[in-house]
Amino acid sequence: MSESKILHISSRDNPVLQRLRKLAADPGAYRKIGSVWLEGDHLARAALQRQHAVQLAVITEAAWAIDALRELAEAAPRVLVVPVALFKTISGLESPAQIGFEVPHALDARPEPGLDSVVLDRLQDAGNVGTILRSAAALGFRQVLALKGTAALWSPKVLRAGMGAHFGLRLVEGLAPADLDALQVPLVATSSHADKQLHQLRLPSPCAWVMGHEGQGVQPELMQRCSLTVGIPQPGGEESLNVGSAAAICLYESARQRLV
C-alpha cells in the first residue's frame, strides 16, 4: 500500500473521526451520512468476504504492529492509524476493538418480488433484529424487510448482533404494510389462535414470514394481509416465545421443507 494512503492521526478533532463518532453514537446516523461504521475485525472481514465496498480503515497503533490486523487494514483504500486512547473515542464497545471499517451505505428502496423473505413489524430490540438476520442468512432467506418503527437495521447494535449476516442479505427498511404487496409471495404469521400447528402444514415456497413487535405482536393491518397463520407447538406450557427464537423455528421449518 502506498504510504500516502496511510495517515497517522493524533487529533481528536479530525473530521473523519468526528464523522465516525456520530455513526457509532446515533443508531440512525447512517441514513444521513451515507456510510456505516463496522467496529471489530469480524465485521470487517465479513464485509470483505462478501466483496462489500470499503471506504477506509481505522486501526490502533498497537494493532498496526500485528501482521494479521495490519493486512486487514491494508485491504482498505485509506488507513488511519490512531493511538488506542483516540480509538476509544469512536468506539461503541465497553472493551473497544482495535480496528474498524467505514463502508458506503445505500439502502434498497423496494422489496424484490419472488424472494423468500422475512418481514419485521416494529421490532424494537436490536438483539432480536440481529438474531433474526443471522437466522435468515443461515437458512436461505435472501431478503429482510423492516416496517416503519423497527430498530434501524444498520445501527451499531444490530450490526454487532448480526455478526456479518447483513452482507449476505437484501435489506429494505422504512416500509408500510401496503408496500409488501410488491413481494408477490404469501405472507405467513404465527398466532396462538391458529387452527394448525407449524409441523402440520406444507408451507408455501417462496414465502415471507412476518415477525411482530415484541409486546404487541403483528399489527392488525398487516395480519389481514397474511394468507396463512400457524401456531408453534409449546408443550412446555409457556405462553410465548421470544421473537428471535420463534423466527429461527419458523425459518428452519421452511428450510427443512424445501430440502425434503
- What digits encode the pLDDT tens for the residues 62-74? 999 999 999 999 9
DSSP H stretches of helix in the chain: 15-25, 29-33, 41-49, 61-64, 67-73, 84-88, 126-138, 156-162, 220-223, 243-259
163 Cα distance to chain centroid = 8
CATH topology for the 3-104 domain: 60s Ribosomal Protein L30; Chain: A; (3.30.1330)
CB 56 within 8 A of CB 16: yes
Residues lower than pLDDT 70 in the chain: 1-4, 108, 238-239
pLDDT of residue 70: 97
pLDDT of residue 218: 94
Of the CA atoms within 13 Å of residue 96, those in its CB half-sphere come to 19
pLDDT of residue 92: 78
Homologous superfamily (CATH) of 117-259 is SPOUT methyltransferase, trefoil knot domain (3.40.1280.10)
Closest CA to 137 of 38, 251, 243: 251
Domains 3-104 and 117-259 share a fold: no
pLDDT of residue 2: 57
Domain ranges of the chain: 3-104, 117-259
pLDDT of residue 4: 54
pLDDT of residue 3: 58
DSSP H stretches of helix in 36-91: 41-49, 61-64, 67-73, 84-88
Distance of alpha carbon 150 from alpha carbon 84, whole angstroms? 34
Residue 224: all three cell numbers together: 389481514
